[in-house]
A and B are shown apart, each in its own frame.
Chain A
Amino acid sequence: MTVVCLENIYGGPGGASILNGINISFGSGLTGLVGPNGAGKTTLLRMIMGLLAPTTGAVYVNDISLVELTLRDRARRITYLPQNGPVHWAMQVRDLVRLGRYASASSVAEDEAAVENTMQACAVDRLASRTINTLSGGERSRVLLARALCAQTPVVLVDEPSNALDPAQQHRIMGILHARAQAGTSVLCALHDLPLAARYCDRLVFLNEGIIGEDGAPGKVLTAKSFTAAYGLAFDKRGYLVDDK
């Protein structure tokens, strides 16, 4: 079932031409958004969240245009975890995760239960009373992910969550997102690590120069041809990298 639908999206920050005619829909499951730096992945995620307005086109969430929703209504439908998001104060982990329930219309008890459950799912419950500045990179990433996931929205947007993490931490993060997607959430995740994307994503979408390229199951779209088209790198018959396109 389609949850997020983008129709003829153009634009970028300050009106720049980053996205050049995006038409795509997402349903439940883990969708990986891949492509080179500058392809427009972050811009696309920010437009779906409503942090950037497209020059033309429209974003629909459950058939409701984003512009018809207030900030709070959007927050009840969509969660966004930016890449390397800042934490300006040395906040306690539990307080930080609880911020995910900011727009919640639930009771305090339900909010607290969501916070506890998500902290357990992200394996940060034992860090609950620590402050964020005392955590390792992997722990910090899981805490920020828990902040995002505890909102329990039907749509989750994540921008390169495994960036700068060791392989074990990358798998933990992707495992958590995969589990959430399996439970029926629409997770859209911008990624650079293609093996990781192939391992965890149900669907991969290539984005290059603001245009959607190959789109489908990882086994179908992760080919030398699509890799060359997206990144400008070519391979010989043995699969070794040969040179620039």
Chain B
Amino acid sequence: MKVGLVGFASLLIMGTTSLMLGDLSYSPAQFFDALTHQGDPARMLVFWQIRLPRTLLALFVGAGLGASGAALQGYLRNPLADPGIVGISATAGLGAVAALYFGAAAASFWVLPAAAMAGAGVAAAVLLLLARDEASITSVILGGVALSSLSVALTALLMNLSPNPWALSEIAYWLMGSVADRSFNELAFAAPLVVLGIGILGLSGAALNALSLGEDTARSLGVSPARTGQLVVTGTLLCVGSGVAVSGAIGFIGLAAPHLLRPFLGAKPGALIVPSAFAGAFLLLGADMLARLLGGPGTPLYLGVTTALLGAPFFLFLVVRHRRAFP
């Protein structure tokens, strides 16, 4: 409860800051006017049509990535795991790139997100097949790495065969990840799926705690590792698939969020899922604010680039710390 309140308060402060800062800044009075549909119509428009959907989308996508990272680290019992490792991000990306490549994305708003979810669904189906037997964890990791590599290769192939530089740049920019210029359509697509996904991941919490003692002990305690794998893969599919579908590939949030919380909340994997959703939302919104502040109107800085630039050194720090803790 206390964690939830702290998380909610942090997001409220961060969200308000995000809404007020940018190329067009808002004073507290202007912010309140825009919020209550009063004052300058241009400011109202920017607030409601640009700033608010962008902020909310960053919160939901970040929450999905954070919760998935915590659940995957618990399920795979690997502190270096993140949603990218199981291939769902890469296959969702491939689905979206295919929609862009074949020009289908222009037909309707829903085509690109649906294609991304379909890509993620293929990966999830393969992972569910791999997670159904006893010695599932190594199979899931290896299967995820294979899916990820294949998707990256196929994405590169589509870029290679791209008919013109404009299509290529569209794909490349999309792959860099962003929540800029998104509308409430993207939010309406992703938010329910992320919430459902976090709910499903939350159901695996107690089993993930038991899995900390290894599969044999977990089964002896009454846990079905196969069912736990199904919950984690399905939850990750919904959280990460929908996130990639509306914002492109964004790395490191899922990796970093649980690590930032462990010193404060302990290492019990099940207790980290919901707090990691808060932390992921906080981190992604922070990264988006940074991208907004550092990138100018003519040179937008993409969100995937910001998270990778901040996340890669953090990843290295984790590897070094992990090596010290468990030489």
Assess the B77–A71 pair: CB atoms within 8 A. no
**A73 to chain B: closest residue by CB:** B222
Assess the B267–A85 pair: CB atoms within 8 A. no
Q: How far is the CA of A91 from the CA of B325 in the complex (A)?
A: 14
Assess the A72–B216 pair: CB atoms within 8 A. no
Check if B268 is an interface residue, CB within 8 A of chain A.
yes
Q: How far is the CA of A50 from the CA of B219 in the complex (A)?
A: 9
Check if B22 is an interface residue, CB within 8 A of chain A.
no
Across the A-B interface, how many residue pairs have beta carbons closer than 8 Å?
80
Q: How far is the CA of A79 from the CA of B267 in the complex (A)?
A: 24
Q: List residues of B (62-120) whose CB comes within 8 Å of A's CBs.
A: 74, 77
Check if B39 is an interface residue, CB within 8 A of chain A.
no
Assess the A86–B214 pair: CB atoms within 8 A. yes
Check if B217 is an interface residue, CB within 8 A of chain A.
yes
Choose one: A82, A90, A91; the contact of B217 (CB below 8 Å): A82
Q: Which residues of A contact B220 (CB under 8 A)?
A: 49, 51, 74-75, 78-80
A92-B266, A95-B268 as given contacts; A87 in contact with B222, CB under 8 Å: no
**For A82, A99, A147, which residue has the most chain B Cβ atoms within 10 angstroms?**
A99
**B221 to chain A: closest residue by CB:** A102
Assess the B214–A88 pair: CB atoms within 8 A. yes
Check if A103 is an interface residue, CB within 8 A of chain B.
yes
Assess the A51–B219 pair: CB atoms within 8 A. yes
Q: How far is the CA of A74 from the CA of B223 in the complex (A)?
A: 11
Check if A169 is an interface residue, CB within 8 A of chain B.
no
Check if B46 is an interface residue, CB within 8 A of chain A.
no
Q: List residues of B (201-231) whose CB comes within 8 Å of A's CBs.
A: 206, 209-214, 216-217, 219-224
**A46 to chain B: closest residue by CB:** B216
Check if A100 is an interface residue, CB within 8 A of chain B.
yes
Q: How far is the CA of A131 from the CA of B267 in the complex (A)?
A: 9
Q: Which residues of A contact B77 (CB under 8 A)?
A: 88-89
Nearest-Cβ distance from residue A82 to partner chain B, whole angstroms: 5
A46-B216, A80-B216, A147-B213 as given contacts; A89 in contact with B269, CB under 8 Å: yes
Assess the A87–B213 pair: CB atoms within 8 A. yes
Give the number of residues in B that approach A within 8 Å (Cβ atoms): 22
Check if A223 is an interface residue, CB within 8 A of chain B.
no
Q: How far is the CA of A102 from the CA of B209 in the complex (A)?
A: 10
Assess the B222–A103 pair: CB atoms within 8 A. yes
Give the number of residues in A that approach B within 8 Å (Cβ atoms): 33
Q: How far is the CA of A51 from the CA of B74 in the complex (A)?
A: 21
Check if A133 is an interface residue, CB within 8 A of chain B.
yes
Q: How far is the CA of A46 from the CA of B215 in the complex (A)?
A: 12
Q: Which residues of B contact A78 (CB under 8 A)?
A: 220
Choose one: B74, B224, B269; the contact of A71 (CB below 8 Å): B224
Nearest-Cβ distance from residue A182 to partner chain B, whole angstroms: 23
Choose one: A46, A75, A133; the contact of B221 (CB below 8 Å): A75
Q: Which residues of B contact A71 (CB under 8 A)?
A: 219, 222-224
Q: How far is the CA of A157 from the CA of B216 in the complex (A)?
A: 13
Assess the B214–A133 pair: CB atoms within 8 A. no
Assess the B224–A82 pair: CB atoms within 8 A. no
Interface mask (B111-154 → A, CB under 8 Å = 1, otherwise 0):
00000000000000000000000000000000000000000000
Assess the B213–A86 pair: CB atoms within 8 A. yes
Nearest-Cβ distance from residue A163 to partner chain B, whole angstroms: 16
Q: Which residues of B contact A95 (CB under 8 A)?
A: 209, 266, 268
Q: Which residues of B contact A81 (CB under 8 A)?
A: 217
Q: How far is the CA of A87 from the CA of B326 in the complex (A)?
A: 13
Assess the B219–A85 pair: CB atoms within 8 A. no
6 more A-B residue pairs beyond the given contacts A88-B211, A96-B212, with a C-beta to C-beta distance below 8 A: A49-B219, A80-B216, A91-B212, A102-B222, A133-B325, A151-B221
Which residues in A have some Cβ–Cβ distance to B below 8 Å? 46, 49-51, 70-72, 74-76, 78-82, 85-92, 95-96, 99-100, 102-103, 131, 133, 147, 151
Can you offer 21 A-B residue contacts whose CB atoms are under 8 A? A46-B216, A49-B219, A50-B219, A70-B222, A75-B220, A75-B221, A79-B220, A82-B216, A85-B214, A88-B212, A88-B214, A89-B74, A89-B212, A90-B267, A91-B212, A92-B267, A96-B212, A99-B210, A102-B221, A131-B266, A147-B213
List of 3 A-B pairs having minimum Cβ-Cβ separation, nearest first: A75-B222, A103-B222, A89-B267
